[in-house]
């Protein structure tokens, strides 16, 4: 990980720690001036952001960590946070707490107090707490814990200037939790066996007692010492008569309650509009129209406005009438007729194909999608969508948590494959990765598909959608049962509904579009170049002939469609766009369009997605996914063709 500024790397860093969704990233962004994705969905800040901030003229490294529920990790994300605390000698910890959820913040604060690290507390979202009639006495809390405490509203930048002072005054907490006798005895035994680390051995011993096996691996103790620790653990658990982690949390929570009683004052208030909306969004009856409304709005904005109006405007007007003729003119003047000119402006030329596709077709669709997605994300609606769709996902052996990567897949499957990390078990991650690669069309592709299918009427649309959704359900159902491993518990926090801050939305959309363009344009260029070479060497013709039994005989499509499918290997949306061109010429009948759309939708999304699967899960998994996706795409396409022809379906 690299530092963005010239901060000396060995300067002790300031580490931001806290529950998910308490505003760590907003505070980080405000202090460093560097933007990080901020969202309402628990667990989206997967990657660790580093920057520098300058309290009182001296620049210090600042680290933003993934949200945690406890410093004893449950997930890979949380492990990262624990490791950051272990790895940074003499770091200062600033804990960010959601003021209205002080109880949960206190659980972490008590754990951090045990580490012996200098600590300071930032009570964020003071405005939301106020709106709910909750007031926290910050000076009293500071007195009790022995660490500095301030109140902030990070989204409005209120109180943030106090953080510099907070860092200066940070100190080791003087508030310890005393546990039941058997636990304390085990802590004493284990502490003596532990090596020196950045955090106290009492804290480490408690983590080990809570059953943190990844920590045990990290410490690299001798087998004998490990057996002693295990012995102490088992002895304590037997004496306590409860799972140790539970017993430890229980005692911490009692401690937290005592603090809460001393510092919180409540006044009854009326329920806010946002709270009511949050309730309706998961209501068994009202929730459905809301869901349909959201999806319809998404479709209108991305499908109709982005993929229709904007693409029309940019592709046919800007590129078709202005940019492309102008570029062609320049190229024709500068280059002699031949290879170079064809490469730049010919049938598979760089300008008319690669650049037009990436900027005129993909960019408007992806841009509108990311904007809509950021709005949904920051409003807090996404986890509620997970609640509404939990049952359908349950049938596929997943749970509502898988909604986020699947919806994100509608934007970009490659990015969505990366976010499968938020799922807890490897089985679930691979399942979702497979489903994404198989049947979730990305926004670029969806735009082209919707454009093609819109002219065919409701029956064709229903057949296409039905086949895709049916395939996803059946493959999900089967993979849930056939893949080894287990499913995780469905426990998902519903953050309050909030009015998204427009600044955040704009920045986040821009950051995502930048990321997408950096990734998409090179792939388009390489894809076009590959096509050009294939065309020049006449390999395209050869492949067309080789694949024609499959395409013509099995799928019942004209041989020219092979082009689109070949390109589909490189990029699924690119293939769809090729199909679009063929269909516009009138060389496909309705059944052929539906069949080819089904095949291209079920195709592997693109090279980038395949590479992402290799990166996240290794080559073997990538090969396995490919071996399922491609044959299945042709199998289902052929079967559909056969059925539609056999029953002479007229669309």
Partner 1 sequence: MQCQLCGYEFEVTSLVCHTNCPLGSHCNLICCPHCGYQAVDESRSKLAGWIGRIFPARARPENAGDRARKVMEEKLVPLSHIPDGAEVEVGTLDEMPARRLARLSVFGLLPGSWVTLVQRTPAPVIRIGETELALSTEILDQIWVHPEASPHAP
First to last CA, the chain: 55
Output 101 or 152, the one with its CB closest to partner 1.
Answer: 101
Per CB under 8 A, 300 contacts partner 1? no
CA-CA distances (angstroms) from residue 363 to 257, 391, 523, 533, 571? 52, 34, 14, 26, 15
Q: Is 367 helix (H, G, I), strand (E, B) or coil?
A: helix
Q: How far is the CB of 621 from partner 1 (least distance, A)?
A: 19
Identity of the residue, 247 or 570, whose beta carbon is nearer to partner 1 in the bound complex: 247
Q: Which two tokens stand for residue 287?
A: 């929730």
- Verify binding: residue 427, partner 1, rule CB under 8 A: no
- Binding mask 222-261 toward partner 1 (x if CB under 8 A, else -) reads ---------------------x-xx--xx--x--------
Q: What is the CA radius of gyration of the chain?
A: 28
Residues with Cβ within 8 Å of 120's Cβ and at least 6 positions away in sequence, in order, are: 92, 93, 94, 95, 147, 148, 149, 166, 167, 169, 170
Q: Does 107 bind partner 1 (CB under 8 A)?
A: yes
Residues 117-156 that bind partner 1 (CB under 8 A): 132, 134
Residue 645 binds to partner 1 (criterion: CB under 8 A): no
For residue 16, give the nearest of 80, 77, 67, 69 by alpha carbon: 67
> Shortest gap between Cβ of 74 and partner 1 (angstroms)?
6
Strand arrangement of the beta sheet that strand 149-151 belongs to: 49-53, 60-64, 14-18, 92-98, 119-124, 149-151
Exactly one of 225, 493, 589, 616 binds partner 1 (CB under 8 A); which one? 493
Interaction between residue 489 and partner 1 (CB under 8 A): yes
Q: In this complex, which beta carbon is closest to partner 1, that of residue 303 or of residue 383? A: 383
Choose one: 277-285, 329-337, 552-560, 602-610; the region binding partner 1 (CB under 8 A).
Answer: 277-285
Cα of 291 vs its chain's centroid, Å = 21
Nearer to partner 1, 81 or 101 (CB): 101
For 123, half-sphere exposure in the C-beta direction (CA atoms, 13 angstrom radius) is: 27
Q: Could you tell me how far CA 297 lies from the centroid of its own chain?
A: 22
Q: Give the nearer residue to partner 1 in terms of CB position, either 496 or 575.
A: 496
Stretch that binds partner 1, among 81-89, 137-145, 274-282, 445-453 (CB under 8 A): 274-282
Among 377, 390, 428, 573, interactor with partner 1 by CB under 8 A: 390
Other Cβ atoms closer than 10 A to 243: 12
- Single out the residue of 50, 60, 100, 571 in contact with partner 1 (rule: CB under 8 A): 100
- Which residues, in sequence order, are CB contacts of 432 under 8 Å at separation 6+? 398, 402, 405, 406, 420, 423
DSSP codes of every residue in 238-296:
HHHTS-HHHHHHHHHHHHHHHHHHHHEEE---PPPHHHHHHHHTT-TTTHHHHHHHHHH
Q: Which of residues 541-560 bind partner 1 (CB under 8 A)?
A: none
Residue 527 backbone dihedrals phi, psi, to 5 degrees: -60, -45
Query: Number of residues in contact with partner 1, rule: CB under 8 A?
Result: 44
Residue 308 beta carbon to partner 1: minimum distance, rounded to whole angstroms: 32
Residue 70 as a binder of partner 1 (CB under 8 A): the answer is yes
Q: Out of 55, 116, 165, 211, point to the residue binding partner 1 (CB under 8 A).
A: 211
Helix (H) or strand (E) holding 235: helix 223-240
Give yes or no for residue 69 binding partner 1 (CB under 8 A): yes
The pair of structure tokens assigned to 295 is: 């999806």
Between CA 95 and CA 116 the distance in angstroms is 14
User: Residues 453, 645: contact at Cβ < 8 Å?
Assistant: no
What's the min distance (Å) between Cβ of 256 and partner 1? 8
Selected from 32, 39, 101, 641, the binder of partner 1 by CB under 8 A is 101
Q: Phi, psi (5° rounding) for residue 265?
A: -120, 130
Q: How far is the CB of 394 from partner 1 (least distance, A)?
A: 8
User: Which region, judged by CB under 8 A, interacts with partner 1, from 6-14, 103-111, 115-123, 414-422?
Assistant: 103-111
Q: Is residue 388 a contact point for partner 1 (CB under 8 A)? A: yes
**In the complex, least distance from residue 233 CB atom to partner 1, rounded to whole angstroms:** 12
Comparing CB distances to partner 1, the nearer of 151 and 544 is 151
Comparison of 356 and 399: residue with beta carbon closer to partner 1: 399
Contact present, 256 and 107 (Cβ < 8 Å): yes
* In the complex, least distance from residue 261 CB atom to partner 1, rounded to whole angstroms: 13
Q: Which CB atom, from 218 or from 283, has the smaller least distance to partner 1?
A: 283
Q: Which of residues 328-387 bind partner 1 (CB under 8 A)?
A: 383, 386-387
- Name residues contacting partner 1, limited to 7-46 (CB under 8 A): none
Per CB under 8 A, does 279 bind partner 1?
yes
CB-based contact 138:123 (threshold 8 Å): yes
Please report whether residue 399 would count as binding partner 1 according to CB under 8 A. yes
**Phi-psi region for residue 593, left (φ > 0), alpha (ψ -120 to 50) or beta?**
alpha
Q: Give least dist CB 439 to partner 1, A.
A: 20
Among 57, 220, 284, 336, binds partner 1 (CB under 8 A): 284
Q: Is 3 helix (H, G, I), strand (E, B) or coil?
A: coil
Using CB under 8 A as the criterion, which residues of the chain lie in contact with partner 1 when the complex forms? Answer: 69-70, 72, 74, 100-101, 103-104, 107, 132, 134, 210-211, 243, 245-246, 249-250, 253, 278-279, 282-284, 287, 383, 386-391, 394, 399-400, 478, 481-482, 489-494
């Amino acid at each position: 990980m690299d530092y963005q500024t010239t901060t000396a790397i060995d300067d002790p860093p300031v580490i931001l720690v806290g529950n998910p969704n308490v505003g760590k990233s907003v505070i980080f962004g405000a202090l460093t001036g560097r933007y990080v994705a901020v969202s309402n969905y628990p667990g989206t800040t997967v990657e660790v952001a580093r920057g520098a901030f300058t309290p009182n003229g001296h620049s210090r490294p600042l680290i933003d960590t993934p949200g945690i529920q406890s410093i004893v990790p449950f997930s890979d994300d949380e492990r990262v946070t624990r490791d950051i605390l272990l790895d940074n000698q003499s770091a200062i910890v600033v804990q960010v707490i959601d003021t209205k959820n002080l109880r949960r913040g206190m659980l972490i604060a008590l754990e951090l107090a045990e580490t012996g690290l200098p600590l300071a507390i930032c009570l964020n979202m003071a405005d939301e707490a106020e709106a709910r009639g909750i007031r926290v006495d910050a000076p009293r809390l500071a007195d009790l814990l022995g660490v500095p405490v301030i109140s902030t509203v990070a989204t409005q930048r209120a109180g943030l200037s106090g953080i510099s002072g907070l860092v200066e005054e940070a100190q080791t907490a003087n508030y310890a939790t005393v546990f039941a006798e058997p636990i304390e005895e085990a802590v004493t035994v284990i502490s003596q066996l532990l090596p020196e680390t950045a955090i106290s051995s009492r804290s480490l011993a408690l983590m080990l007692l809570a059953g943190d096996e990844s920590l045990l691996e990290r410490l690299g103790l001798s087998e004998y010492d490990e057996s002693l620790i295990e012995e102490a653990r088992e002895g304590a658990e037997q004496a306590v008569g409860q799972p140790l982690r539970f017993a430890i949390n229980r005692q911490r929570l009692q401690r937290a309650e005592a603090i809460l009683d001393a510092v919180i004052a409540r006044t009854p208030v009326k329920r806010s509009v946002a709270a009511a909306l949050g309730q309706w969004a998961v209501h068994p009856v009202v929730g459905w129209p809301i869901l349909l409304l959201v999806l319809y709005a998404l479709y209108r904005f991305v499908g109709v406005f982005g993929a229709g109006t904007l693409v029309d405007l940019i592709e046919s007007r800007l590129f078709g009438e202005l940019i492309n003729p102008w570029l062609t003119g320049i190229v024709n003047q500068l280059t002699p007729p031949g290879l170079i000119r064809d490469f730049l402006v010919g049938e598979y030329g760089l300008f008319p194909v690669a650049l037009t596709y990436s900027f005129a077709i993909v960019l408007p669709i992806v841009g509108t999608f990311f904007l809509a997605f950021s709005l949904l994300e920051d409003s807090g609606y996404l986890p509620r969508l997970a609640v509404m769709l939990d049952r359908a996902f349950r049938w596929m052996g997943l749970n509502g948590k898988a909604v986020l990567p699947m919806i994100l897949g509608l934007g970009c499957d490659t990015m969505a494959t990366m976010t499968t990390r938020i799922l807890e078990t490897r089985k679930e991650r691979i399942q979702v990765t497979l489903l994404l690669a198989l049947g979730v069309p990305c926004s670029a592709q969806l735009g082209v598909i919707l454009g093609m299918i819109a002219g065919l009427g409701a029956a064709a649309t229903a057949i296409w959608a039905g086949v895709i959704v049916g395939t996803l359900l059946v493959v999900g159902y089967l993979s849930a049962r056939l893949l080894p491993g287990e499913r995780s518990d469905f426990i998902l926090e519903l953050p309050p509904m909030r009015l998204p801050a427009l600044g955040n939305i704009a920045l986040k959309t821009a950051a995502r579009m930048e990321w997408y363009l950096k990734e998409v344009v090179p792939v388009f260029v390489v894809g076009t170049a590959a096509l050009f070479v294939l065309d020049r060497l006449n390999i395209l013709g050869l492949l067309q002939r080789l694949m024609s039994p499959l395409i013509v005989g099995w799928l019942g499509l004209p041989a020219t469609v092979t082009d689109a499918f070949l390109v589909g290997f490189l990029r699924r949306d690119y293939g769809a766009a090729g199909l679009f061109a063929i269909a516009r010429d009138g060389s496909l009948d309705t059944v052929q369009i539906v069949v080819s759309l089904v095949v291209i939708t079920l195709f592997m999304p693109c090279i980038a997605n395949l590479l992402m699967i290799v990166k996240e899960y290794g080559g073997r998994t990538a090969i396995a996914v490919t071996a399922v996706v491609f044959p299945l795409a042709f199998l289902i396409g052929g079967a559909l063709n056969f059925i539609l022809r056999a029953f002479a379906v007229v669309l």
